[in-house]
Structures are given as structure tokens and as C-alpha cells.
Structure 1
Amino acid sequence: MTILALLVGLSKTWGIRLTGYEAFRKLHYSLAMVYIGACWGHWDKLKCFMLPSLIFWLIDRGCHLMRTGLLHYHILNSGHVGLRTCTADITLFPDPEYGDVYRLDLANNQDPWAIGQHYYLCFPESIETGLVKHSYIIRTKHGETKNFAQLCACKLSPAVCLDIKTTPVILTGPYGSHTMDNIEPHSNVLCVAGGTGITYVLPILLQHAQSLRPVRAKYSLIWSIKETRDLKWVEAELIALQQAPEDMNLDINIFVTQGIATKIKSRGKELHPADTQVKEVTSIGSSGATDGRSRSLYLHQSDGINGYRRRDVANLIGDFLESTIDGPTILFSSGLGVIISDVRGVVAGFNSPSRVWCGQQRYDLKFVGEDRMEI
């Protein structure tokens, strides 16, 4: 019972925060093995329950190890076949107030992952054709992200005389559901994200921008960030959305919670929350140059929790629904718990079976959320 109590306690948020994720993971494995051994030693007749548990656990660990091995089993430069880590390019976005943000970009020879899935990353350093691209946005604070920041600081040191700063990475995955499976061919898509939650929703819009979709479907992104400089995290992806085909009915609204917002304009209806200050720019690119296909973005300044107040979220979702022509709507959201809770409540309020029964499919809303809990 003592071991079980420790397992439960260390699995709580405060337990993981106290020990760190890696310590939590290793302690969990160790204590589980001790528990099985203690039960077996207490009464050997319990082995009929303990043995299957041990066997299934070992099979599970073996499958995880095999999956990781297959991801990194390549032809080496020497011509031999063996395990090789991925080389990730490091980009630093300094943020001394809220924690520096790093972006990792790598490519690996593997089967494509599905949008909505995720990987676990291991950094073994602590002191083309057929390649699948991975990009990760990591805000560094405490625990393992702090260790990662220290690793990157060494890599980015002026003493390291390399044009491109890189680090080896070992991937484990993919895990999670296929987000795109939730989208019907005629569905409208609304994405709401806070901070690094943009990594969950942005691939959905990028996928639609690259595929043939019904012209009548509508798409929208609502993203909350602390500073306008945070746009640099995904600058290339936002520019790709700006240059999406003209028949993709897309609006992009970005809320800035700190500093002075420089607004980037988007085609479609402009929003005017009470505390919004806006100034128009056509592109987020460093040169400011655009072509005939380029669409711009709405950038708003807001003082609400995580970038916008609940009533602003309701207004934005309501305006989106009113602007759709036909079909149901699916809303994807990722961010801190307060964002997920607010968005879920607003979606529940707009769902209207009576209107759907009368043929107004726009009030058929589906919610798909991913919590970004700060541990």
C-alpha cells in the first residue's frame, strides 16, 4: 500500500513538478517492479496475477523500443546499416520574461505521421527524398526543458563556429489520434490556440491549404500570443497560409497581450473588440513584399486572460458561424486549461439541435481540444 501511495502521489501534477518528468518516469518503472516483486514475495500464489502484469509490461516496453529503433534504423555514412540519430536545426527566440522559446526542425526517413499525432523527444547529448519533416516549438522553463535550454545554450555559444547550430535527436512515436479523421469533407474549420498550442492547430490549416477542398467551406485561425515577436516562431508557416489558393476562404486573427500590437490585415470581416488597437501591414515577412495571391492577417491588441476575454471568444465564434454558408463546423483548440474550458463552454452554448433539425447545419459544432498544462 505504501508503494501504491507513492505511485499515485508521484503521478500527480505536483509530484511531477517536484521531481521532474524523467525522475517521475524512472521512479514509476522502479516502484512498479518493486510492487510486483513485493506482492509475489508476500504470497507466491499471487504470481498468477503478477506474472501476466510483468509480461505485458515487458512486451509494451519492447514494442516501444522496437518502434524507436525502426525510426532510426538507416544506412550510415560508412555504408553499414545501423541506428542513427536525427539532426535538428536549432532556432532561438529569446524571451527572458516568460522563458526562451526554441524551434527544432529536422527531417527523418520514415512513414509520414498523421496530423494530430505527437512524438516524444530524447536528446542524447547532455554536456531529400523520402524524408518526413518535423518541427517543434519548445518554451523552456523548469525541469527537462531547462536542461534542454542549457544544451542549446552550449550549441549556440559564439565559441561554436558553425553556420547552422544542430543537435542530435531520438524520436519515439507517433502517438495520439488522427485529427483529420474528425473532419467531414464539407465541414467548416475553426482553430483556437494559445501560445505554443499553435503547433496543434496550424498543421490542420496547412493541410487544407495544400489540398482540394469545397469552395463553400470556411476556415479561421484565432491565436493568442504575448508579444508580436512570437509570430517569428511559425513565420514560414503563416506566410504559407497567406499564400494559400484564393478560393480557400480563410481568416487569421492574432491577439497580442503584451506591448504594442502591429496589426496584420486579412480579407474578410474585421473585428473590433473594445480594447483592440490595430495597424495594417500586408505581410509578416521581413521584406514586407507580397504577390497577388498574398492574404494578410488580423493582429489585435487585447488585455484579456491569455489574450482575449470569454465574451471575445464567443463573439469570434458567433461571427464565424454566421459567416459560414453551409455544413457543420468543427472547432480545434489547444492551450492552457482556461482557454480549453472557455472554448468548450462557448461551443456548447452555440450547439443548437433545433436549428440543425430545421436545416441550419452551421449550428452543428464539434469540439476537439488538447490541453497544454504547465507542469
Structure 2
Amino acid sequence: MDLLKRAHIQEHTNTSREVYHWGYVPQILPCTKDAGSCEYLRAVYWMHDTSMLYSFILWAVIGGILLVIVTLRTLKPKPTRNFYAPITEKNETQSPANAYTRGWGAIQASLRKWLLPESFVGFFGHVSRVQLVVLAILLAYLLAFSLVGIVYKTWITPIKGSTLTNKRTGVGGFSDRVGVLAYALTPLTVALSTRESILTLITGIPYQSLNFLHRWTGRIIYIQAVLHTFGWTLIEGLYYQPQPKVYRDFIKQKYMVWGCIAMGLLSLLFFLSFQRVIKITGHEFFRKSHYILAMLYIGACWGHWAQLACWMIASLGIWGLDRGVRFLRTLLIHVGYVKGTADFGFHNAQSSVEYFDDVDGGVVRLEFTHNHEAWHVGQHFFLTFPALTIWQSHPLTVASVPAPHPALPQHTYIVRCRAGETRRLKSLALGQLTTLPSSGSTPIPSTTTPVILTGPYGTPLLPSHPNTGIEPSNLLAIAGGTGISLTLPLVLAATASKAFTSVPVDFIWIVRRAANLAWIAAELSELKKRAKDENVDLRIHVYITQESSSSSSAPASLKNVPIKTEEDITPVAKSCCSSSSIATSYTETYMESVHPSLDSIVRSFLEGRARRELRTRVVASGPAGMGRDLRGAVAGVNDAGRVWRGERAWDVELVWDDRMG
């Protein structure tokens, strides 16, 4: 019955036949209405067929872009060097880069120079220009194809048995067009939000980097839905007569009831996604309500227009696949035999929880071993703490290097205690203690808690090739605060690899207080030992931004090396302590409420430390402002001309992650 009501002003006769149109109600031919109404109906079906064509073209373009990305990843030059032979002045094993390799690097450097920096931060947030370009392309496509192929004409048609007339225009075709495109965008929006991302597998782009486009495609769908709703409200509530009878009959139809429900759910989704609202309600409420409302919205869209259910089925399929793979990952990690027993079943990891107090809220260090397949350096897991809640997981980067098989992998996490789950984790670490140690350098005795893992996620930070092994590169690792979780295992793994023999590695850590060094005291001590090895070209510099050397609260165990203050360091060393002019491989600089210049650090590394024949990688994690400065700094030093001339060091890649724990 609803389909018959939705068949516009068409009427069946004994000679009528139905012409099928994909995604719409059948067209009844021949038309028996007045000439204006028949012309309008022909325009309506033509505009609908055009809308379906444009929605398919949209996905053809998306598929073409993905195919281009896969092709470029395949065509990317493979390293030719024997990575396990050390680079020395007397034994240079790096073969000269050919024109193809130099051209590829020059193009990459040029693109980074223009697309890596941030723009319009106040409106879009901290994202690179490349994401803005992708969004602009999508917006341009949708704008063009929302307006092209619309019949811009008005028909005034009579109403049988009345002196009233109906006004028929192309508004209906336009409203349906934006509705069709909103349906077609829904699977893409869902795919951009998934953790087990098919798009990540195809493109190599981390799933968290796709969240920006997920948010904006969601907003685009909301705008399209508003236009669709407004258009049909205008038609049925004003253009068609007599009123209000026409509108009352229209809004009572089942498909319209579902349409109103879908619009209400989408409006609630849109409202709850504002950052101010998320801060008030809490991130976990946002996540759970987002899942529930999104699935209800997809179901309501199916009820509103079942002829286009294909887009909703695809969306539900992508979402279900994501949840299923997540569940399977968790089972693979936790279901099995416990070593030394015959107990088969689900087993939590048992983690020690060590708390380090400071005026910024404190930091928790988690450590545990668990029998599962090792991860790659730079990857992260989602951790659930059943002692706190089973309904929330937190993404945390592993701050340790996975042990080779058959040793059990050792997990280490450095977590800043903020609000929500991490605050409750702090309370768990404190246990029954009612007072805190007077010195922030003294950890509170650890307790234990069960942990459930899902993962690993993310791309490896030490890229390798099946034939040539790990690719060495000039490595500059920069961390702010608990961003050390990303860079620490990278530096540990690189300095332990034969591929990085005599390859410059600079490790920069920016912290507020000297006491923060206690978070990784053992690992820092190990890196200092490695820096003395003649085969390891490692420089470590710690910037302390909220203390002076005289007020330092550094633990005594960490004061066993020469400390250089701002006055003791040359201008070059101030910018980057890894300058060869500094005698020691480990230095500390007290800034006293001033942050180091990241641009100077990057340039000093390239000019004073980087090997010309190797490309350069800057790997960093920290606050969003640090990411903005680093994007600008790395973009500024990429030099296509120098790369083309064979100076590969100036092909500088930035790997940035602002999840700091």
C-alpha cells in the first residue's frame, strides 16, 4: 500500500504497464494525467535514474582512488642495499640511487612540503592538508553531482474537481538526489570508523588517521538529510494542495514515519558528536551511544526507503565484520592453556600497576607477560580492565620491544592519569594508600590487576622488505611526555639491530619535570649503555620544561651522567643536543617554562647528523601542538631538488601519533 501511495499521481488502467526503475517505485505507462503532470513524471524518473548513476559513479571513483593507491604502493622503489652490512666511510654498501628512485623521492618530498602542514586549525582541528584536500575533492564531487542533472522547471497542474492547482518543480528531484547520495555515503562513513579497517589494509593508512574523514562524511550526510527533509516538507506542505490535508496524509504514511525517526536519530548523533558535549557526557558515553544510535539510524533508513536497502545492508555488514574480527582477536590472545597447567579457557593477563605521583595527575606504568603472538614496534593494543569495567577499552601503545619466539612477550605501558578510565586506574594503583610519597620520583608500591587485550593495531615503525630486511634510515625520535611509549621501543629496537650499525639515531624527550625520567629508568639506563658502543650512533637529549637545574627533583639513580644547562650548551646544541660538538651522548637541558624549537631540532639533525645517502624518518608522539609544529618543520625541510641530486636525507618522512596514553 505504501508503494502505491508513493507512486506520485500515477494511475493504473486496463492498458497500463509498469516500467522498473532500480531503487524507486515502478513507472506506470502510458501516463493518463494532464500534459504537465506527465511531463513532470518523466522528469522525476529521469532525475532518479541519473541520481542512481551518480551514486554508482561515486563508488567507482572511490574504488579508482583505492586502486591508484595500491598501484603506487606496488610501484614504490624497493631498497637495494644489503641492510645487514654496516655503513662506514671505508665500506660503503649503499648503491647509488637510480633516476627512478631519485624521482620517486623527489615527488614525495615535494608533496610533503605542500600537503603535510596544517591549515584552518581553528575549524578543522589538527590535521594535515592532505586530509583537507581529500575532503575538498569529496565536497566538490557531491556539490557538482547534487546540482547537475536536475530539471530546473516549474509545472502548474490542475486538481480534478477543484479550482486549486499543484506546483510541481525540480525540488523533488534535487531532494531525492541528496537523499540517494546520503544513502550511498553511509557504507563509506562506517568503513572510515572501523578499527579492523578494510581501508587500512588497502592503503596502509592507520585507522585512527581515517577518523577525520569519518567525522566529516557524517556531517555531510546530516546536511544532505536536512536538505532532503526540507525539500519534501516544502513540496508536501506548500506546493501541493489542498492543505493541510495533503501534508497530513503524507506524514502518516509508514515510510514517512520511519523517515522522521531516521532524521531524529541522525540529529541526536550529530548533536552528541560535538566536542563540548563529549566533554560533558564523557567519551565512553559518546562511543556507546554512537554505536547504538548509528545502528538504529541505519535500520530506520531501511524502513524509510527499502528500495535502497543495499547501502544499509553494506553498512551493517562492514560494522558486523569489524565487531566480529575484534572479538576473534581477543579470543586468539586469551583462549588457550596456561603455561604449567592443563587449564584450557579464557585467561586474563595479570599486570603490575606502578604509580608515579606528580602535580600533573600522575602516571601509571603497567607491566605483564602474556603468551600470544608478538606485535611490531609502534603498534598498540586496546586494554580493558575488568576490575574497573568490562564495557570500556583504552588504546595504549606498547612501550616495550617484543621478545623473539619462543620467549613470552613483555608488555609495558606508560599511562598518564587523566579523567575517566585512567583516573580509576590511578585509584586502583593507590589501593588502600591514603597519603602519597613526598617525592614525585618515588613510585608507589605496585599492585596487580587483570587485563584483556585486543590487537595489535597500527603500522610497524621499522619497515622491512622480504628480501632486504629492515630498511635503515636517519632516525629522529621525538616524544612529549607519555608519548615516550611510541618512540622508546623504536629506539631500543633500532639500536639493537645490525641494520642500524653506524646509522645516526637521535632520541629527544620533552618532559615537564626531571622526576618524570623515573617512568623509564631501566630503559633509559640501557640506552645510555648502548650509546657508548662504537657501533651505535645514538644521541639522547632530555628537555625539562618546568624546572630549573637547581630545583630538579630527578631521582639520584638518574643523576649519574653530566648534565648540561642552557648556559653550558652551544647554540647548535641548544637546538638539538645530538650535535657532534657535544662530548657526551646523553644531555639534559632545563628550559624553565620554555619549549625547545622543533624546527631547529629537525634542521640540526639533518645538517649535522643525517647521512646523505639514507632517507630520514622523524617519528614522534605528544600533544597536538607538538604535532602541528612538527608537521610544519618536516614540511619545511623536504627538498625535492636535493633529493633528485642524490641527497636522500632530505626526503623526510614524518610518522606522528597523538595517542599518548
TM class, shorter-length: 0.7 to 0.9
Matched, 1:172 2:444: no
Which residue is equivalent to 1:281? none
Which residue is equivalent to 2:504? 218
Amino acid at match of 1:50: M
CA drift at 1:37: 2.6
Residue 365 of structure 2: SS of its match in structure 1? strand
Which residue is equivalent to 2:637? 350
CA contact (8 A) 1:20 1:144 kept: no
Which residue is equivalent to 2:430? 153
More deviation in 345-354 or 249-258? 345-354
Match of 1:239 among 507, 513, 525: 525
CA distance in 1, matches of 2:342, 2:652: 54
* Unpaired segments ≥5 residues, structure 2: 1-262, 390-402, 436-444, 553-558, 575-583
Match of 2:615 among 322, 328, 344: 328
CA drift at 1:12: 4.2
Match of 2:371 among 85, 109, 117: 109
Residue 179 of structure 1: SS of its match in structure 2? coil
Structure 2 counterparts to residues 5-154 of structure 1, below 5 A: 5-76=267-338, 79-95=342-358, 97-126=359-388, 130-154=407-431
Deviations 1:166-192 (A, max 9, x none): 110001111111111189734110011
Match of 2:588 among 264, 288, 299: 299
What percent identity do the matched residue pairs reach? 37
CA contact (8 A) 2:475 2:616 kept: yes
CA contact (8 A) 1:155 1:166 kept: no
Deviations 1:304-355 (A, max 9, x none): 55x32xxx32322222222234322111111111111111211222222222
Amino acid at match of 1:317: V
Match of 2:647 among 350, 356, 360: 360
Which residue is equivalent to 1:259? 547
**TM-score, normalising length: structure 2:** 0.49
Amino acid at match of 1:147: R
CA drift at 1:11: 3.5
CA drift at 1:61: 0.9
Tell me which protein shows more strand as a share of its residues.
1
CA distance in 1, matches of 2:280, 2:641: 49
CA contact (8 A) 1:155 1:165 kept: no
* Unpaired segments ≥5 residues, structure 1: 277-294
Matched, 1:313 2:598: yes
Alignment CA distance shift 1:275-1:368 (3 Å) = closer
Which residue is equivalent to 2:52? none
CA contact (8 A) 2:545 2:592 kept: yes
Deviations 1:244-266 (A, max 9, x none): 13311111111001123368449
Amino acid at match of 1:330: R
CA distance in 1, matches of 2:514, 2:592: 14
Amino acid at match of 1:174: P
CA drift at 1:123: 0.4
Amino acid at match of 2:513: E
Tell me which protein shows more helix as a share of its residues.
2
Amino acid at match of 2:310: C
Residue 124 of structure 1: SS of its match in structure 2? coil
* Bigger-Rg structure (1/2): 2
CA contact (8 A) 1:21 1:144 kept: no
CA contact (8 A) 1:337 1:372 kept: no
Alignment CA distance shift 1:118-1:252 (3 Å) = same
Residue 497 of structure 2: SS of its match in structure 1? coil
Amino acid at match of 1:333: A
Deviations 1:101-135 (A, max 9, x none): 00001111111101121111100012995311111
Residue 454 of structure 2: SS of its match in structure 1? strand
Amino acid at match of 2:602: I
Which residue is equivalent to 2:75? none
CA distance in 2, matches of 1:72, 1:373: 25
CA distance in 1, matches of 2:480, 2:593: 12
CA distance in 2, matches of 1:275, 1:218: 16
Which residue is equivalent to 2:125? none
Amino acid at match of 1:251: R
Which residue is equivalent to 2:579? none
Alignment CA distance shift 1:139-1:373 (3 Å) = closer
Alignment CA distance shift 1:328-1:51 (3 Å) = closer
Alignment CA distance shift 1:314-1:126 (3 Å) = closer
More deviation in 169-178 or 6-15? 6-15
CA contact (8 A) 1:328 1:364 kept: yes
CA distance in 2, matches of 1:155, 1:118: 31
Deviations 1:270-299 (A, max 9, x none): 8445997xxxxxxxxxxxxxxxxxx75210
Amino acid at match of 2:589: H
Match of 2:492 among 206, 211, 214: 206
Amino acid at match of 2:630: V
CA contact (8 A) 1:216 1:325 kept: no
Which residue is equivalent to 1:279? none
Alignment CA distance shift 1:27-1:110 (3 Å) = same
CA contact (8 A) 2:352 2:446 kept: yes
CA drift at 1:211: 1.3
Across the aligned residues of Structure 1 and Structure 2, the Cα RMSD in angstroms comes to 3.0
CA contact (8 A) 2:380 2:456 kept: yes
Residue 230 of structure 1: SS of its match in structure 2? helix
CA distance in 1, matches of 2:290, 2:266: 10
Which residue is equivalent to 2:83? none
CA distance in 2, matches of 1:193, 1:54: 39
Residue 370 of structure 2: SS of its match in structure 1? strand
CA drift at 1:68: 0.5
Deviations 1:194-226 (A, max 9, x none): 001111111111001211135441010111101
Alignment CA distance shift 1:56-1:215 (3 Å) = closer
CA drift at 1:237: 1.1
CA distance in 2, matches of 1:320, 1:275: 10
CA drift at 1:368: 1.2
User: How many residues are aligned here?
Assistant: 346
Amino acid at match of 1:340: G
CA distance in 2, matches of 1:19, 1:103: 28
Residue 136 of structure 1: SS of its match in structure 2? strand
CA distance in 2, matches of 1:345, 1:259: 27
Which residue is equivalent to 1:249? 537
CA drift at 1:13: 3.4
CA contact (8 A) 1:40 1:47 kept: yes
CA contact (8 A) 1:191 1:221 kept: yes
Which residue is equivalent to 2:179? none
